[in-house]
Amino acid sequence: MLKTGLTLIIGIGVLLGGDGLKIGDPAPDFNLPGDDGKMYRLSDYQGQMVVVYFYPKDDTPGCTTEACAFRDSFSEFEKLGVTVFGISYDDRESHIAFKKKYDLPFTLLSDTDKSASKAYGTKGLFMASRKTFIVDEDGKIAKIYPKVSVSEHAETILADLTTLK
């Protein structure tokens, strides 16, 4: 019985997008609407470092803590010339309210069709799983954070960015 349960869990993970990206792989491009109504393509940021963080849902405790940690460290990301994108399944209206409520200075992208989440292996049934990627100047995955401490995540990324630059 246990073996069948494990097979089912593994099968669902593969079906929903798996976890196939590795450091050095080309980062999957995306074309997603931002909270400001503009469309954002990752490929438009070639030549600069980009942090792409997937999170489950706007205005929930863990996601709020994570977003506010990025907000509180945002000037450091700017000094390094790093763009930060937060991505969830939430729609633009939800992102606008979340961004306004917590004064978030970075762009939130809506992955309502789950295409980016699938490409990055974060696709879940009802929400994206929490996972972050650093994309280097050449558009390749430089670092993957499969497990995230929402309160310390931004600081960890900043420390890693200084060694990657």
Is residue 1 domain-resident? no
Q: Is 63 a catalytic residue?
A: yes
In a domain, 56, yes or no: yes
Residue 59 lies in a domain: yes
Q: Is residue 4 part of a domain?
A: no
CATH number of the domain that residue 30 is part of: 3.40.30.10
- Whether 137 is in a domain gets the answer yes
Binned at pLDDT 50, 70 and 90, residue 141 comes out as very high
Mean pLDDT of all residues in 81-88: 97
Q: Is the pLDDT of residue 35 over 60?
A: yes
Distance between CA atoms of 130 and 80, rounded to whole angstroms? 24
Tell me how far CA of residue 17 lies from CA of 10, 65, 66, 129, 149, in angstroms: 11, 26, 23, 11, 23
Domain span holding position 147? 26-164
Does residue 158 carry a pLDDT above 70?
yes
Res. 165 pLDDT band, cuts 50 70 90: low
Total number of domains constituting the chain: 1
Which tokens is 38 given? Answer: 């503009």
Catalytic residue among 32, 42, 63, 104: 63
Where does the chain show beta strands of DSSP type E? 31-33, 39-41, 50-54, 83-88, 107-110, 131-135, 141-145
How much of the chain exceeds pLDDT 90, in percent? 78
